[in-house]
Structures are given as structure tokens and as C-alpha cells.
Structure 1
Amino acid sequence: MTSEPARPGRTKYVLFDVDGTLIDAMSNQRRVWGTWAQRYGLDADEVYQVALRTRPMETFAQVAADQDPRECLAALHELEDEDVRSGVYAAFDGALDLLQGLPRGSWALVTSNYEHRVRGRFLRTGLPVPSVIVDAAAVEEGKPSPVPYLQAAARLGASPESCLVIEDAPSGVRSGLSAGMTVWGVNGAVAVEGVHRHFDSLRQAVPHILAFASGPHGNAAA
């Protein structure tokens, strides 16, 4: 299902990260990177720890500097695409209620992954798909640059100060903050540095996100 374009006069918008925020993909990511590491004779746990902190090309430079990074990336993409087709995915508790409860045209996805994978995962988990998805191919600078979130706001016709970013990772939080947006963190026992509010789970955040999106009033950072 695809949501409709933004309605005239909307004043509040919500921009979501995907992996770790709406979709629980940690075990999938670990499995993909583990298989990739085996192909290159590398320690899977060590590779995954680097991959958690860096983008793929930076990961390859650290753990497989003697390999062609383009071949490394092609192998990773092959494994990720296969995982979308055959892996087991789950949406975080509250994700479906939240996305179905948001006003149409009031939200977007901002992901470091690729749109076709996001659509595949949303199809597998039954989540609705918005009209705006900003993926890795849509921007030259990924998170923690503000560019991805600024592009999403522009495509929604929203000002940065009217946007609420929902994130789980430090790079995404920095991206939203540097874009001049309100940023809330979810799905972590400890708050990511800089967030305006933190919730241990997405489910906890659902009523607050819906309240933010329902109208122009209220203090998002409270």
C-alpha cells in the first residue's frame, strides 16, 4: 500500500529511519555480513563490529584493504538482495499501528539502504509504504550528513523545523540534528547523544509521535 501525497496545509511531518527503527533487521545484517566475511576468509564478528560503525566502502577499506572494493560491494549487494527475498523479517511492535495512524502524506522514510530492499521488507512485514523514500541512491552524502533528511523534507514540502526525525543510531541522530530537525530516539536502553527525547521502544513512542503529527500545537522537544 502506498500513501497519498501530502495534503495542503499540513504543518507537521515525521521522517523515519528504517533498519533498527521500524524494521528489526539486526540478525539479518549480522548474517549477511557474516556470509560476506566468510567469502573473504575474514573473522565474521570482527567484520560486523566494523560494519556497525562505518558505511560499506569504509568497512572494506578497514577489513579487506587488499580486495577490490567494487567487487566487495557487489558481493554484499548480492547477499543483501537474497536476504530480502528469503530472510525472516519482523516489524518492531507498534510500527504498523503507527504508520497506519499517521495522516496521509505526513511522513517519509530516510534510509541508508536501497528503495527496492525497503519495499521488499515492507511488503514482507505488511507495513504501508509512503510516497517519499530517500535512499542511498538518492543522495551523494549519506548520514550523518544532513542531506538525506533535508531532501525528504523538501520532497514533502516541509520546513526542517516542522519535521520530527525518528532514529535509533548515532549517525542518523547527527543527520537529523544537523538538518535542524527535532530528533527522537527509539529502541535502545540508553539514549543516543543529542536526542530531544528517548524511548526504550518504538511502541512507547507511538502515542507521542501520533500526537506530534496530528497538528501544529505542542512542544516536540518536551
Structure 2
Amino acid sequence: MISEPRPSGTTRYVLFDVDGTLIDALDNQRQVWRTWAQHYGLDPDEVHRVALRTRPVETFAQVAPDRDPQECLAALHALEDEDVRTGVYGAFDGGSELLAALRPGTWALVTSNYEHRVRGRFARTGLPVPEVVVDAAAVEEGKPSPVPYLRAAARLGARPEDCLVVEDTPSGVEAGLRAGMTVWGVNTVTAVAGVHRHFGTLREAVGDILAFASGSPAVRPA
């Protein structure tokens, strides 16, 4: 297992992925891609498998190379915006309690989605939105590039070694590790490769995340 970066400052920061980490949107994403695939006469299951590991434009290039990527993206965006308005989803257990307990200015959201959708979902599930949200429009390179997490740290005025990344996907974990941050995985049955710590659910991680944020020596690496 990779050693955790040793926290070096008095202020600690927590950077959260959104979908799959704080918001339970897996079924929504599957349905959006299913509807999109059916519109283009494609195999929904294959499209979703590709979409899970690539950014949308890369997905289009693989599953619909003969289609205009901008047209494909517009169709996907329309479906996702409709899902924000009408879809059924919720926050993972412990999410509201956790975010409410973190001090303002010490946490951020880092998402491959867009900020207006995050705000829409958070409003519907009662989660607070932090001052810093780094979304797909804020960076040219998405996860697994470290750029999104480094951008969030910079906007918070934080050093990477003082940041904890909370993720649920391999690309997100890789992004956090490449940024030189501590990375914990949540909401997966088995640990994503590379994580410093693994929790089966977000609820199980709440106490430890808050301890990290407070600088508790109980979670400092040996």
C-alpha cells in the first residue's frame, strides 16, 4: 500500500468527489446513458461500460465514431439536466452530517460533472455546497489527471500534503494520488487500488474524515 503523505500544516482540507461518493446517482447515470444509447441505436450496456471509464467525448469516439461529438454531447447534457429536475436519487448516509460539521473554507467538491447539476442535486438532497467547486468546465484535463484536485487545493490555499481526497472510482483515486494527497476510498465492496484507507460506506468514514480535518493524531500516519 502507498504511504500516506505526512500532513505538514495546522489546517487540514478535505476534497470530495460527488457522484458515487456523496450523491447516490449510479442508477441515474445508467438510465441517462441507456436513453442516450437507445436514441442512437446503440447497445446500452456496452455504452455504459465505456462511459464508466472515459469522459463523454472519449465515450462518443469509441461507441459512435461516425456521429458529431458536439451533437452527442448536447443530447447527453439535455438528458442529464432533465435527470437533475426529475430523477430520483439521494445523499449517501452520513453525508449531510459530515459536510455540516466541516469548517467553511476547508473543504471542496471536485467533480467530472457540471456545477449547476451539482447545485441542483444538493438542493434536492439537502446537502450544503462549499465555497469551492471544481467542475468539468473549470479544467481542461479531467480525472485521472491530478489537475482538478490541484486546482481545488490552490483555490483553498492548501498544500497537497495537507489534503484528504475522498473518492469511489479508480480514475478519481489515481487523480488524488498523482496530486500528492492522502486518498481514502468509500462506497465500494473492495478497496480501489492505491487508496491509503478503504471504507465500505461513507457512513463508516465520517468519524475518521472529521478526525483528519481536525488534525487529530489518531489518523496521522505512523
TM-score normalised by length of structure 1:
0.94
TM-superposed CA distance for 1:10, in Å, is: 5.8
Paired with 2:189 and 2:50, the residues of 1 have a C-alpha distance of: 21
Matches within 5 A, 1:167-186: 167-186=167-186
Paired with 2:134 and 2:217, the residues of 1 have a C-alpha distance of: 27
Contact 1:182 1:221 in 2 (8 A): no
Match of 1:93 in 2: 93
**Secondary structure, counterpart of 1:144 in structure 2:** coil
Gap runs ≥5 in structure 2: 1-8
Match for 1:160: what amino acid?
Answer: P
Contact 1:184 1:196 in 2 (8 A): yes
TM-superposed CA distance for 1:215, in Å, is: 2.5
Matches within 5 A, 1:45-124: 45-124=45-124
Paired with 1:185 and 1:27, the residues of 2 have a C-alpha distance of: 20
Q: More displaced, 187-196 or 209-218?
A: 209-218
Match of 1:37 in 2: 37
Paired with 2:122 and 2:85, the residues of 1 have a C-alpha distance of: 12
Match for 1:126: what amino acid?
Answer: G
Measured against aligned partners, the alpha-carbon deviations of 1:22-73 in whole angstroms (never above 9, x if no partner) come to 0000000001000000110011111111111111111111111111111000
Gap runs ≥5 in structure 1: 1-8
Match for 2:83: what amino acid?
Answer: D
Match of 2:22 in 1: 22
**Secondary structure, counterpart of 2:88 in structure 1:** coil
Matched pairs, number: 214
Match for 1:129: what amino acid?
Answer: V
Match for 1:47: what amino acid?
Answer: V
TM-superposed CA distance for 1:217, in Å, is: 3.9
Measured against aligned partners, the alpha-carbon deviations of 1:149-171 in whole angstroms (never above 9, x if no partner) come to 00000000100000000000000
Matches within 5 A, 1:128-147: 128-147=128-147
Instruction: Note the aligned Cα RMSD (angstroms).
Output: 1.3
**Secondary structure, counterpart of 1:103 in structure 2:** coil
TM-superposed CA distance for 1:175, in Å, is: 0.3
Contact 1:12 1:212 in 2 (8 A): yes
Paired with 2:216 and 2:150, the residues of 1 have a C-alpha distance of: 20
Contact 2:208 2:219 in 1 (8 A): no
Match for 1:170: what amino acid?
Answer: P
Contact 1:145 1:175 in 2 (8 A): yes
Match of 1:6 in 2: none
